[in-house]
């Protein structure tokens, strides 16, 4: 879908995970936050999870790349 961003996922519990995506151009952050929320909730529910909820956390600033401001996206998905 795009050729940037480095995702990592850390399980915070049996039904809770934190997702980080480093290397995102700051101008795309608001759009991608929405996209990742919809995608994460849908994917978890399609996999059998119930009541999936994605909490968007504040992005963190990164060093600019090719003069573009960069950020790391952060969010937590949980389900029952």
pLDDT tens digit sequence for 36-63: 999 999 999 999 999 999 999 999 999 9
Mean pLDDT over each residue of the chain, to the nearest integer: 95
At residue 19, the pLDDT reads: 96
Contacts of 44 (CB under 8 A, 6+ apart): 52, 77, 79
Q: Mean pLDDT across the stretch 56-80?
A: 96
Alpha-carbon dihedral of residues 58, 63, 66, 71, nearest 10 degrees? -10
At residue 2, the pLDDT reads: 73
At residue 22, the pLDDT reads: 97
Q: Is the pLDDT of residue 4 over 90?
A: no
């Amino acid at each position: 879908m795009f050729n940037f961003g480095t995702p990592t996922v850390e399980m915070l519990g049996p039904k809770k995970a934190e997702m980080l995506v480093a290397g995102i151009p700051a101008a795309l952050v608001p759009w991608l936050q929405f996209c990742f929320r919809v995608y994460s909730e849908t994917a978890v529910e399609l996999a059998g999870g119930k009541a999936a909820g994605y909490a968007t956390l504040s992005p963190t600033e990164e060093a600019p790349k090719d003069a573009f401001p960069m950020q790391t996206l952060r969010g937590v998905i949980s389900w029952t």
